[in-house]
Structure 1
Amino acid sequence: MSTPSKAKRKLRDGVADIASLWNSVVENHKGENPALQQRNLGMISRVLGILPHLVALMFTAYIVWIARPGSSLFSWHPTLMCLAFMVFMLEAVLLFSPISSVLRGAGYTTKRQWHWMLQACAVAAALTGFAVITTNKYMAEKQHYTSWHGLLGLIVCCAVNLSVAGGVSVMYPAIVFNMPVMLLKRLHAIFGTVVFLGGMVTMWLGLCSTWFTNNVHHDAVLALCFACPVIVLLYVMVQVGQKIFRRRAH
């Protein structure tokens, strides 16, 4: 039997074993009392709440590890961009999550203050990372924004500034005349989610670059890295979507 066939067979058997294990767990929990089921649901909720933080931090740590910031001018670009979107911006958004917030017990005012401070750090890191890659291209006498990664990155960095302007209008609604505060909040949430989506897509395209693929030598690690932006993006989109639809229902 050829090696690819063996690998496919092992993968199929592994998936079947996982499915069988999951079915047995489900069957064992069917007869549990409601109190135990509630405790299990609480445990699952806590795990799901920790997951986006863990995924983002592990992804960022790996990128920083292979980039080795300080080894070259370019090394600061992936480092700063990961810090901007996968740490500062993600944490700023998750502050308002009912299950993933690190300030779950804090009031709205406290969360809002930490939100804009983290977003300020995200903007500073993103713009610095953008300036680094622009300078690096200029020094290497290479053309700018010739790839989808570079072009979308330029658009996202411009959109980040617009999102910040929207956040300022929410904090100081007197700046925008004749617009309800709730509408400003909803528009800010939607536009901010679109900006974060653009950031994750740009990061995903960056994972297709020659620099990244040359530094990753295991297919499994490559697949996990591609999955990380998708996971955190789904968390953000679900969180914002639930909040918007909840406001509409009220």
Structure 2
Amino acid sequence: MPSDVEYSPVGEGLGMRDYWLYVWLRRAAVIAAHVTGLGLSLIISLLSRPGTSLFSWHPVCMSVAYCLCMTEGILLFSAEGSPFCFKSRKCKVRLHWFCQALVLIAAATGLGFMLASKNVSELPHLVTWHSWLGVSTLAATVIQAACGICMIFPKLLRLSSSPLRLKMYHATCGLVVYLLATVTVVSAMFSDWFQATVKGVAWWGFLLLPLFPALVVMNQITNAYLPRKKITS
């Protein structure tokens, strides 16, 4: 389908040797992002000691939702370093929707545990930057899921935009949601609970960990959907 938006190719203008180095560096970065997302979820789950309190389930659910499921749901479209690189596009889209459904379920469950914990402890709601960022992230996640539904059923919803533009809008909004989720995760590390659990050099390491997958995701989406002017001969 013709369009005035053209995707920027990866590695354009590089020599063969530089191109392969670029590809392998991207592949290593994507693999590291997979490991970081999984590792961060596991470590936060261990630190929170799930079952010891209602609150203990909140970090578990939120880390699984955003550090693991959302990261995997985006990175599975990467051509380098993704365990699903051999799957068809249709299969990847289904896996993406499955991951995003898990994000909504896990995030809603984590929110429920937080609300229950606050009510039992008779503590006020929405009194920290982390709580406000968390609510904003959840709202943006729901909106993004609605945008995804619009992209799948454009004719049923009678949308006038072309499928190519809908994909670009969906990817751009998804990047905003992921970056907002990253800021929320980072802000959680300034909470009293996390600073009492992790201290010293380890705390600084945790502070930097969520930023790496965010950079990889941002690079992947901008490389795939960044519009540029067509080259006319």
Question: Does TM, normalized by the shorter one, top 0.5?
Answer: yes
Residues 96-151 of structure 1, C-alpha deviations (whole Å, 9 max, x = no match)? 11213221121110100000001000110011111111121111111111111001
Task: Quote the offset at 1:87 in angstroms.
Answer: 0.7
Q: Is the radius of gyration larger for structure 1 or structure 2? A: 1
Report the equivalent of 2:135. Answer: 154
Partners of 1:167 and 1:188 within 8 A in 2? yes
Q: Decide whether the 8 Å contact of 2:137 with 2:180 is kept in 1.
A: yes
Higher relative contact order by CA 8 Å / sep ≥ 6: 1 or 2? 2
**Could you list the runs of 5+ residues in structure 1 that have no partner in the other structure?**
1-33
Distance in 2, matches of 1:125 and 1:247, equals 37
Name the structure where helix makes up a greater proportion of residues. 1
Q: Would you say the 8 A contact 1:85–1:199 is kept in 2?
A: yes
Structure 2 matches for 1:83-232, cutoff 5 A? 83-174=64-155, 175-217=157-199, 219-232=200-213
* Superposition pairs of residues 3-42 of structure 1, within 5 angstroms: none
Tell me, yes or no, if the aligned pair for 2:29 and 2:216 is still in contact at 8 Å.
no
The CA deviation at 1:47 is 2.2
Cα deviation, 1:45-75, whole Å, max 9, x if unaligned, reads: 4422310011111111111111011111101
Letter in 1 for 2:115: T
SS at structure 2 position matched to 1:111: helix
RMSD over aligned Cα, in angstroms?
Answer: 2.1
CA distance, structure 1, for counterparts of residue 160 and residue 18 of structure 2: 49
Q: Distance in 2 between matches of 1:214 and 1:249?
A: 54
Cα distance in 2 between the residues matched to 1:42 and 1:190: 23
Spell out, residue by residue over 1:146-169, the C-alpha distance to the aligned partner (whole angstroms, 9 max, x if none): 111001111111111111011111
- Contact persistence 2:61–2:109 (CA under 8 A): yes
Give me the whole-angstrom Cα distance separating, in 1, the residues matched to 2:191 and 2:38. Answer: 21
Q: Show structure 2 runs of 5+ residues with no match.
A: 1-14
Distance 2:91 2:132 in 1: 36
Deviation of residue 36 (structure 1)?
A: 8.4
Q: How many residues align?
A: 216
Q: 2:166 is aligned with what amino acid?
A: L
Counterpart in the other structure of 2:8:
none
Q: 1:72-83 maps to which residues of 2 (within 5 A)?
A: 72-83=53-64
Q: Is the 8 A contact 1:204 1:229 kept in 2?
A: yes
Give distance in 2, aligned partners of 1:41 and 1:168.
35
Give the aligned residue type for 2:107: A
Task: Supply the AA of the counterpart residue of 1:210.
Answer: D
Q: Is the 8 A contact 1:169 1:176 kept in 2?
A: no
Please, which moves more after superposition, 44-53 or 199-208? 44-53
CA shift, 1:249, in A, is: 5.2
Q: Is the 8 A contact 2:65 2:106 kept in 1?
A: yes
Distance 1:248 1:63, change over 3 A: farther
TM-score, normalised to structure 2, is 0.86
Matches of 2:18 and 2:67, distance apart in 1: 33
2:10 aligns with: none
CA drift of 1:248 comes to 6.5
For normalisation by structure 1, the TM-score amounts to 0.80
Q: State how far apart, in whole Å, the 1-side matches of 2:173 and 2:125 are.
A: 26
